[in-house]
Amino acid sequence: MNITQILHSYGEDGFSYSPVSVPIYETSIFSFKNFEEFQNSLLNEFESHLYTRGKNPTAEVVEKKIAALEKAEDAKLFASGVAAISAATMAFLKSGDHVVCVKDAYGWTLRLFSQYLKRFGVEVTFVEGIDPGDFIKATRKNTKLFFLESPTTFTFQLQDLSAIAKFAKENKIKTVIDNTWATPVFQNPIPLGIDLVVHSASKYIGGHSDVVAGVVVGSREDIRHIFNTEFMNIGATIGPFEAWLLLRGLRTLHIRMQRHMENTLKVIEYLQTVPEVSEIYYPFYAKHQQYELAKKQMKGGSGLLSIKLKVNSLEEIIAFTNAFRVFRIAVSWGGYESLVMPHAATNRDGLTERNKIVRLHIGLEDPNLLIDDLERAFQAMRKVRP
Ligand SMILES: *Cc1c(COP(=O)(O)O)cnc(C)c1O
């Protein structure tokens, strides 16, 4: 199936009146003609419309599309990316198990393993993951799950998905990857051997900074297992309206991703000329240390990158941040708009090496507007240089 067929029509049959826009099924319950139908539904909630905590027709359309985009059998939407990550991992873990996780993964993923699951007797080893050997060396007899995030979304380090998946399969270890950055448009980990893909749909899938949501993608068997365990019990269900917002976002996902990439490459061309930029972290920047791997396992790059500033004081970073007029100061990313996130704002540690890193989200604006805005920020920074 072609990507536009998936995004424009796939999974949308069967609604009365042939609507072009899928209806929002704002209902908590579904009713039945008789005892027998009711009983069948109660005994197989995974496959029937009984209650919106389990299944809702608006959400289902989005689930079908995302599964198709990821070349997978099934998908399940969640109320947030973090809910999706928690369910996809906890469904396969029990007390005494061990997890290997990428060290630079999303903050709440790190907390899930280092603090939350620790309370339930699950152990974790964090690894850099650039070398597949990092995962192999960290594996123990009780290792049940590898958690990947490729690329990571602060320093943009990649993991070799095929190599890690191969080792995991041979050792019966479940593999889960956070694929939020690349989106299903640019990276499909399941054909490379990864078991489960999670996304924060609050980012590019939603695409308009107006919804918090998540999704888990995988085999029908794994999704059924997650449904019958963490999904129904934790109950972090997406609402029908939020699911519909994702559907609206999906209509243009492929077009937006193309533009995010084009804009980002133009901004990088400019950033390369700025003497105060000591490093550019972006997998499709030709000088990235894993550029070849990026090209091998991804079709393109999205709009999120980091830069390291050559600065001698925190004041320079503050002046840089405060000078923007187009880029907005905010967490998250993946919307139509450009954002700036100085790592120094996340702590009070002063001018550490890590605090010299500033994360930028390149939105869908005219790239010249963004370059002018960056130039304004660098000039403001130079003015306060000690
Ligand atoms: C935002 C984000 C998450 C968490 O998703 P929420 O929708 O905010 O719960 C997970 N992973 C990555 C890489 C993210 O950027």
Calculate mean pLDDT across residues 114-141.
98
Where do the CATH 3.90.1150.10 domains begin and end in the chain? 254-383
Pocket test for ligand 1, best of 78, 80, 82 (most atoms within 8 A of CB): 82
Calculate mean pLDDT across residues 374-381.
98
Rounded distance from Cα 106 to ligand 1 centre (Å): 7
Calculate mean pLDDT across residues 364-374.
98
pLDDT at 134: 98
The per-residue pLDDT for range 298-317, each reduced to its tens digit, is 999 999 999 999 999 999 99
Q: Which of 71, 294, 69 is nearest to 191 (CA)?
A: 71
Number of Cα atoms under 13 Å in the Cβ half of residue 88: 32
Please state which CATH class domain 254-383 belongs to: alpha beta
pLDDT at 330: 98
Confidence tier at 386 by pLDDT (50, 70, 90): confident
Q: What is the CA radius of gyration of the chain?
A: 22
CB neighbours of 257 closer than 8 A, spacing ≥ 6?
A: 183, 185, 186, 204, 300, 302
Calculate mean pLDDT across residues 350-359.
97
Rounded distance from Cα 151 to ligand 1 centre (Å): 13
Rounded distance from Cα 109 to ligand 1 centre (Å): 9
Please state which CATH class domain 3-251 belongs to: alpha beta
State yes or no: pLDDT of 354 exceeds 90. Answer: yes
Of ligand 1's listed atoms, the one at least distance from the Cα of 153 is: 13
Rounded distance from Cα 104 to ligand 1 centre (Å): 13
State yes or no: pLDDT of 86 exceeds 90. Answer: yes
Where do the CATH 3.40.640.10 domains begin and end in the chain? 3-251
The per-residue pLDDT for range 140-170, each reduced to its tens digit, is 999 999 999 999 999 999 999 999 999 999 9
CB neighbours of 354 closer than 8 A, spacing ≥ 6?
A: 343
The per-residue pLDDT for range 226-246, each reduced to its tens digit, is 999 999 999 999 999 999 999
pLDDT at 140: 98
- 196-200 and 214-218 beta bridge pairing: antiparallel
Write the single-letter amino acid at 203.
K
The per-residue pLDDT for range 268-297, each reduced to its tens digit, is 999 999 999 999 999 999 999 999 999 999
The per-residue pLDDT for range 197-234, each reduced to its tens digit, is 999 999 999 999 999 999 999 999 999 999 999 999 99
State yes or no: pLDDT of 103 exceeds 90. Answer: yes
Q: Is the pTM of this model over 0.95?
A: yes
Residues in the ligand 1 pocket, defined by CB under 6 Å: 80-82, 106, 149, 153, 178, 180, 200, 202-203, 212, 214, 332
Q: Report the chain's mean pLDDT, rounded to a whole number.
A: 98
Calculate mean pLDDT across residues 320-325.
98
